[in-house]
Amino acid sequence: MIPGLALVDLSVDLGPSPSEHVPVNIQRYSHEEGGRYLAALVDARLEDLEDGCGWASERVDAITHAGTHVDAPYHCTPAIAGEARPPRTIDEIPLGWFFGPAVRIDVAGGEGVRVAPDEIVRWEARERRAIGDGDLVLFRTGAAGAYGTAAYSRQGRSLHPETVALLRSRGVRVIGTDAWSIDPHYDVMRSEARDRPGLVWAAHKHAKHGEFCVVEKLCNLERVPPHGFWLACFPVKVRGGSAGWTRAVAFVPPGAAHGDPEDAFDGTA
């Protein structure tokens, strides 16, 4: 590791929020409640435990697509063209997919317009950085500023399926966004379903042509540079899961992070 390396947290909290279409509930158990449970487990009297306490804990009721999470190919499609095996679930994806060099493409503005392939080409020309095999590609759509409100899922921009196709042709296996999805809001898909049904959830469905993962509900992308940083977004290993929660973290070289780093690696544990 490089001393002074900035660690930028790109994840929102997992918890109740107006931005979550499926409610998240966290039931909290106090140290006192944990003490009563612990005392019963070890056949002791509560008063014999130090401070009469045990452990604090939580029970979480949430879908795997709540908070910052990684979609597995299985979430996107039931089958892959030309493949006999089904698409992989989140616990089956190689760990190497979720750690590597990353780029941040700023596409804020143009609300309601899908990100087109030529925007990727223009970014490469502007930044003099070609996107290639193993890159993790993150889109800053501007939606993150609305996280915590009911309007969040209507903010930012989605990806055109041809943009996903371009990235996959370059060897990209992980695509991320600060929006709720790489596809548009339900209202947009509802209106398109009448005369352009092929566009409904089309960015996700491109996985039928080849597997990839999607990281959704990122934040703080404005704090990382366009390129020159690494990303770790290892998902929770949910058995047979269509997705897994992640604590996505950017590893940014000294001086390259925008704003004060939330944490820095100084070479010590």
The reply to whether 148 falls in a domain is yes
CATH of the domain at 90: 3.50.30.50
Query: Residue 4: pLDDT band by 50, 70, 90 thresholds?
Result: confident
The reply to whether 265 falls in a domain is no
53/186 same-domain check: no
pLDDT digits (tens, 9 = 90+) for 121-150: 999 999 999 999 999 999 999 999 999 999
Last residue of a domain, one of 37, 61, 85: 61
142/251 same-domain check: yes
Interatomic CA distance for residues 67 and 91, integer angstroms? 18
The reply to whether 136 falls in a domain is yes
46/82 same-domain check: no
The four Cα atoms 155, 160, 165, 166 give a dihedral, to 10 degrees, of -80
Instruction: Please give the pLDDT value at position 111.
Output: 83
Instruction: Please give the pLDDT value at position 266.
Output: 46
- Structural domain including 53 reads 25-61
Q: Dihedral sign, CA of 58, 249, 240, 159?
A: positive
| Amino acid, single-letter form, for residue 97 | W
180/228 same-domain check: yes
Distances (CA, A) of 212 to 18, 67, 88, 178: 29, 19, 10, 17
Interatomic CA distance for residues 182 and 247, integer angstroms? 19
Last residue of a domain, one of 41, 61, 81: 61
116/234 same-domain check: yes
What is the rounded average pLDDT of the residues 9-14?
98
57/82 same-domain check: no
Last residue of a domain, one of 61, 87, 114: 61
Interatomic CA distance for residues 72 and 185, integer angstroms? 20
185/105 same-domain check: yes
pLDDT digits (tens, 9 = 90+) for 82-120: 999 999 999 999 999 999 999 999 999 988 899 999 999
Instruction: Please give the pLDDT value at position 265.
Output: 45
Q: How many CA atoms lie within 13 A of 230 on its CB side?
A: 14
141/30 same-domain check: no
57/164 same-domain check: no
pLDDT digits (tens, 9 = 90+) for 211-266: 999 999 999 999 999 999 999 999 999 999 999 999 999 999 988 877 765 555 44
pLDDT digits (tens, 9 = 90+) for 149-197: 999 999 999 999 999 999 999 999 999 999 999 999 999 999 999 989 9
| C-beta separation of 92 from 75 below 8 A | no
The reply to whether 56 falls in a domain is yes
| C-beta separation of 142 from 155 below 8 A | yes
pLDDT digits (tens, 9 = 90+) for 34-57: 999 999 999 999 999 999 999 999
Domain tally, the chain:
2
